[in-house]
Copies of this chain bind each other. A is one copy, B any other.
Amino acid sequence: MNKLDSAGHTIHFETQLNPLTEILESGKYSKIFVFADGNTSQFCLPVFQEMLDDFTGFDLIETDPGEENKNIDFCIGIWKTLLDFGADRKCLMINLGGGVVTDLGGFVASTYKRGIDFINIPTTLLSQVDASVGGKTGIDIDNVKNMVGTFTLPKSVFIETKFLKTLPEREMLSGFAEMIKHGLIADKSYYEELKKGNHKEIEAQAIYTSVNIKNDVVTEDPHEKGLRKILNFGHTIGHAVETYSLINDKSPLTHGEAIAIGMVCEGFLSVSNNTLTGDELEDISNYILETYPSYQIKKESFSQLLEFMQSDKKNENGEIMFSLLNSIGSCAFNCRVAEGDILASLNYYNTLAKSPS
């Protein structure tokens, strides 16, 4: 279980960064940059350095934490910093952090001087089970998530559960939503296992299973022409709710909290549009409602949510496209849904979230 060969690169599990030592000592790179945010430079960088025998042979580039900083201004700042530090095409960038760091760092690396090598060390559960695989890089523009980006694979990915030790429970739950999704779209027995377990004590084996599921999907369809869209289950509505919350709520939803809401809503749509049964929907809804804090999607936000969904990348010819469950463990993509059904699904979630679970 210590590595997984993905298209063109290797995902290393629980190796104490040993293979990274070899890479750093190979002399292949002219300079090493570590890119981190204010949190990971404080909590994860020392762990990273310790695993590498107190490694200091790098320049640190730091960004502010938070999705709102995954923007073009920070991106320009990092490009210029690399230039100021004399970064040539043979340098290596190590992205140490959550999805914001690996998305933004990956985009910067994939475009600086038309592309330098980068390695991702995801330090949150969310980024370990999600952003670690598939080569998506990106930044947000005008609050449109990942409006600009590339498909570029890191040279390697290192997944170390050691980094999760410092993670607040809410952050663990955020990543856990993607693991539930992996079970729902591709592996019923994995979903059932997750239900039995405890999201506070995630085992490395479960992370491996999630990464494996995602890897199988993206290997078959790296550029999201078809199958890969199933990974967006819960995300069409989830992203819209997340964006709205980021702009309007004092304490915004995490990605996983928003995706959890999205999975309930899109589970509802799966019943109206596909073959998901009412019992299965109830099972999913109950599990999510008891695992995640409840939230009310404001009625007055509905029209704006629809607008956000309109700019979703999966859409074609102006129609909002969904990925919906056929059953627990199987997912379809390119599903059309009437606007009225979308609104009904938001109301469905609100009704459940209001009543005590």
Q: Give residues in A with beta carbon < 8 Å to B.
A: 30, 72, 76, 79-80, 83, 86, 88-90, 110-115, 136-138, 141-142, 144, 146-151, 223-224, 310-311, 313-318
Contacts and interface: CB of A to CB of B under 8 A. Distances in A.
Contact of A148 (B90, B112, B317): B112
Contacts of A111: 111, 148-150
Contact of A115 (B79, B90, B150): B150
Contact of A110 (B79, B150, B314): B150
Counting every copy of the chain, the complex holds 2
Nearest to A30: B317
Contacts of A110: 150
Chain B CB within 10 A, most for which of A83, A113, A314: A113
B150 A88 contact: no
A30 B79 CA distance: 33
Contacts of A72: 72, 76
Contacts of A136: 114
Contact of A150 (B141, B144, B150): B150
Given A72-B72, A111-B111, A114-B150, A83 B313 contact: no
A136 B114 CA distance: 8
